[in-house]
Structure 1
Amino acid sequence: MNSTPQRGADEVVVLSRVRRAYGAEHTGVVALDGVSIGFRRGTFTAVMGPSGSGKTTLLQCAAGLDRPTSGSVLLDGVELTGMSERKLTKLRRERIGFVFQSYNLLPALTVEDNVTLPLRLASRKAEPGSVARVLEQVGLAGRGKRRPDELSGGQRQRVAIARALITEPAVIFGDEPTGALDTHTALEVLRLLRSAVRDGGRTAVIVTHDPVAASHADRVVFLADGRIVDEVYGASAETIAERMTHLGAWAEHPAVHVPGGSV
């Protein structure tokens, strides 16, 4: 399951034999162990696995937030390996959107200012009407002058999604984006992410522990002990939950490759 994926023009993110180790060579921890995977344009992928399986490390390496010990990461046609921190920061601001469980909004700023923050950090101005358009897209029309503490948790996450979309990124990464939300609100947020993929041609990759959240993705990738051990397509929450319960056994006996996959 960790074989090198075919590199096609439709793959926005490609990890090839990525290994990430922390600590000393013989006594440290290997978070990712030779992972190879591609994420295609216009697709929604959920990454699942038990605690310590390497999910967040995979996300961070794919987004250029962490550097692999070895292997390569290609994002939107750009090789991240060896790139300077300054260039990585610029790339992230221009080509990547982030959505986190904790929202990461600045309480002193209005909704509009939080949304446009990535543009300001990149010394760019918002296109006329773009802020209003993206707020309407996430269901927050007319709330641009409010501050985060005047909004519900679901509305704050909508602001975070608007902020992720404002730069028109190639890929949106989410780390447990529905983890702090109730079931109804989480479903609304997942529909927004699906809409960004379907209507905007974005690529979305989220880490989640929730089979219901993962069932909204086109593909679910399962990690165990730093390796990809299985993947499913268009699966129900029940099927995903069942696969999760058998990850330990599958890690010892990797599953057969699913036709049409990128892994």
Structure 2
Amino acid sequence: MISMDAGEALRLDSVRKVYGTADNPVTALDGVSLRLPTGTFTAIMGPSGSGKSTLLQCAAGLDRPTEGTVAIAGQPIPKGSEAAVTRFRRDRIGFVFQQFNLLPTLTALENVTLPLRLAGRKIDKKRCAGLLAQVGLGDRMNHRPAQLSGGQQQRVAIARALASSPALIFADEPTGALDTRSARDVLALLATAVRDHGQTVVMVTHDPAAAAYAHSVVFLADGRIVGELARPTADAVAEQMTRLTDAAARHAPVGV
């Protein structure tokens, strides 16, 4: 069991990420500092090119910051080998992606237990089956992904993310491939994981209705945090996003 910092699930200190060459650098994140308490649901939003996907990738250890540090549950992401970073992620982080990323030859239950198997950890099939039951798939655990709807596949992905009891779950546009009803169900499950199980969820989304399920929304523009909104409503989020998108359009180069 991971030793959890009682108050802080995620900390970013002055994180910069620069792509390109020395002659033509592109700054995707520009000195981002962020602290997220344990047991919270945070949405990350911003116009296209604002840095939200880069923020998720650096925060989750999928990409390395050019400068600054990232810590999960009080433990800094290691700066050593990729194998060390992979072990760190495997033990502390769960992922829910837009495209589900289930293995087609495995059943729902086998997909849920796979991260534990890859980590060499003891597999509690009863608990994993219980997670599938909690996401409404108790009667589908022996079905393969092709036999499940998109919404059901995303529920399997959520159960898989919960299986290792991670310190933090990152969700990258988790409702982007779903119809409205399935999207609502998936967001409600993420909110339930936070409320009932003390999970911490960080979700990148472009959808104000999805962001309204979160406790708070962090807004990015030009690689910087430019605002936060507590207890968001879809209308308030949409209004803020309109302002940011209009501002980005005004500052875009001619022809863009």
- Superposition TM-score tier, normalisation by shorter sequence: over 0.9
Check the 8 A contact 2:78/2:84 in 1, yes or no. Answer: no
The separation in 1 between residues aligned to 2:80 and 2:110, in whole angstroms, is 30
Q: Which residue of 2 aligns with 1:235?
A: 232
1:118 to 91, 115, 118: 115
CA deviation profile, 1:73-115 (whole Å, cap 9, x unmatched): 0111211151331121112111111000000001011111111
Q: Which residue of 2 aligns with 1:55?
A: 52
The separation in 1 between residues aligned to 2:111 and 2:46, in whole angstroms, is 32
Q: Which residue of 1 aligns with 2:166?
A: 169
The separation in 2 between residues aligned to 1:188 and 1:174, in whole angstroms, is 15
Q: Which residue of 2 aligns with 1:157?
A: 154
What letter is aligned with 1:50? Answer: P
The separation in 1 between residues aligned to 2:225 and 2:26, in whole angstroms, is 17
What letter is aligned with 1:79? Answer: P
The DSSP-based 3-state class of the residue aligned with 1:106 is: coil
The sequence identity of aligned pairs, in percent, is: 60
CA deviation profile, 1:112-161 (whole Å, cap 9, x unmatched): 11111100110112125111111111110021111000000000000000
The separation in 2 between residues aligned to 1:81 and 1:238, in whole angstroms, is 40
Q: Which residue of 2 aligns with 1:185?
A: 182
Runs of 4+ in 1 over 2 A off after TM superposition: 248-251
The DSSP-based 3-state class of the residue aligned with 2:9 is: strand
The separation in 1 between residues aligned to 2:126 and 2:245, in whole angstroms, is 50
CA deviation profile, 1:46-67 (whole Å, cap 9, x unmatched): 0001111101110011111100
1:223 to 217, 220, 225: 220
The DSSP-based 3-state class of the residue aligned with 2:21 is: coil
What letter is aligned with 1:220? Answer: V
Check the 8 A contact 2:132/2:138 in 1, yes or no. Answer: yes
Q: Which residue of 2 aligns with 1:34?
A: 31
Check the 8 A contact 1:45/1:205 in 2, yes or no. Answer: yes
Normalising by structure 1, we get a TM-score of: 0.90
Normalising by structure 2, we get a TM-score of: 0.92
Bigger shift: residues 223-232 or 72-81: 72-81
The separation in 2 between residues aligned to 1:128 and 1:116, in whole angstroms, is 7
Structure 2's unaligned 5+ residue stretches are: 249-256
Bigger shift: residues 79-88 or 129-138: 79-88
Q: Which residue of 2 aligns with 1:148?
A: 145
CA deviation profile, 1:150-202 (whole Å, cap 9, x unmatched): 00000000000000000011110000000111111101000000010011111
Check the 8 A contact 1:67/1:81 in 2, yes or no. Answer: no
Alignment of 1:120-135 (within 5 A): 120-135=117-132
Indicate yes or no: 2:8 matched with 1:11.
yes
Report the aligned-residue RMSD: 1.4
Give the aligned length: 244
What letter is aligned with 1:57? Answer: T
Check the 8 A contact 2:42/2:214 in 1, yes or no. Answer: yes
2:67 to 67, 70, 82: 70
The separation in 2 between residues aligned to 1:160 and 1:135, in whole angstroms, is 10
